[in-house]
Amino acid sequence: MDISILGLGYVGTVSAGCLANDGHNVIGVDPNQTKVDLINAGRAPIIEADIGEMIAAAVASDKLSATTETAEAIHATELSLICVGTPSQLNGNLDLSYVRRVCEEIGEALKGKVGYHVVAVRSTMLPGSVREVVIPTLEASSGKTSGVDFGVCINPEFLREGTAVWDYYHPPKTVIGESDESAGERLVTLYGALDAPLVRTSVEVAEMVKYADNNWHALKVDFANEIGTICKAVGIDGQQVMGIFSQDAKLNLSASYLKPGFAFGGSCLPKDVRALTYKARNLDLDLPLLNAILPSNRRHVDRAVEMITSKGNRRIGVLGFAFKAGTDDLRESPIVDVIERLIGKGHDLRLYDCNVRIAVLAGANRDYILNHIPHISRLMVETVGEVMDFAETVVIGNATDEFRSAVANSRPGQLVVDLARVTDRPSSEDYDGVCW
């Protein structure tokens, strides 16, 4: 394929070298004449393992060249990758001036070009940037229509400095956010030989995936450092602790606990976070990440209460109020917190949970419900049907299987706030979730 790459910085240079190495004809574009001259001389403008040799070989075989002229590159290629910088502004927002400028140049070139052209953005941009900046700028500059005369994709990169070439050929995933199917198909052909999951999705989801990845990585570094800080203060080797932690690929390094839904609760997580942060305070340690866990969790409960009460209905039914499905444990259940706050606001409630029944409860659970939350026990009913018949707003508190059919059979006008997402339905006016 004939490919132009706009921006010969870190991502652009690595992409150019790897694509040319794969046999594509690549033209790099950059306003910096020094970078262009280096590429054309077979030298990489960045320091990165293996890329220098790849650039030299690609130029020697006439697979790679560079220019300062955008129009020249666009007219000679069928697909363009935007790899320009998106630096931070003083307020933390992104500076998209380079993206806007290169889109204007591409659009001007497309104005006189015959045939369908695909523009794929590899630069990291906040959700909404393709729809609000890239596509309007391309359309205004070209006089053409996205999805008809040209296609637009967002194709986030997952390259780490120092191992970028290896990362290019061994990605954790390939993500293509496409404005239309034809544009996505063209981009798919670039990555067909890579052994990685291929995800085709909307441009907004693809934009957000990159931010989810990078913020998660930043969070992991902070988490490991704060755990290590406590360990050092009490004479423990923090790297040994986190080395053992990282051996758990079932829970710690996995998709477990990473599905947006409702707040955590139960007899372990809240108690253990409180204990560790208490220990840190006694050691005079400032650990803002660990200290933010419980306030963040409480704010999630606040969001749920706000969402439920905003529906404007007085009669509310709750399906599932143990802290998670498949248990009768109500201790520190965030759903119980929601129920108590709804009662306090004057709502009339009915509650059902197949695992929480006074007659069969024993030990700590029985003591908790009878002595700590007796007002809730009086609101419990025996069947899902009783809740559904009563409620104007139905709240799904945990992912118990029987609640799926209840949601599917909700009556017209009945609102459902699903805190556990028991169906795959998207959020809508009558079916909503707290963070999806």
Contact 173, 199 (CB under 8 A): yes
Q: What is the set of active-site residues?
A: 268
Q: Name every residue whose Cβ is closer than 8 Å to that of residue 283 and which is 6 or more positions away in sequence.
A: 230, 233, 234
Nearest to 79 by CA among 155, 11, 130, 140: 155
Q: How far apart are CA 382 and CA 357, in angstroms?
A: 8
Judge whether 351 and 358 are in contact, CB under 8 Å.
Answer: no
Q: Which residues pair with 342 in a beta bridge?
A: none
Centroid of chain to Cα 145: 29
- Cα-to-chain-centroid distance, residue 96: 21
**Side-chain-side CA neighbours of residue 226 (13 Å):** 22
User: What Rg value do the Cα atoms of the chain yield, rounded?
Assistant: 27
Alpha helices in 283-410 (DSSP H): 288-310, 334-344, 363-367, 374-377, 384-390, 402-408
Tokens 């969001």 label which residue? 303
Supply the DSSP symbol for 425: P
- Contacts for 256-263: CB closer than 8 Å, 24+ residues apart: 259/421, 260/435, 260/436, 261/419, 261/420, 261/421, 261/433, 261/434, 261/435, 261/436, 262/300, 262/304, 262/334, 262/335, 262/397, 262/419, 262/420, 262/434, 263/297, 263/298, 263/300, 263/301, 263/304, 263/334
CA distance 6 to 11: 10
DSSP string over 157-210: ----TTSHHHHHHS-S-EEEEESSHHHHHHHHTTSTTS-S-EEEE-HHHHHHHH
Token representation of residue 260? 């947006």
Backbone dihedral angles phi then psi of residue 186, each to the nearest 5 degrees: -65, -40
Helix (H, G, I), strand (E, B) or coil at 417: strand
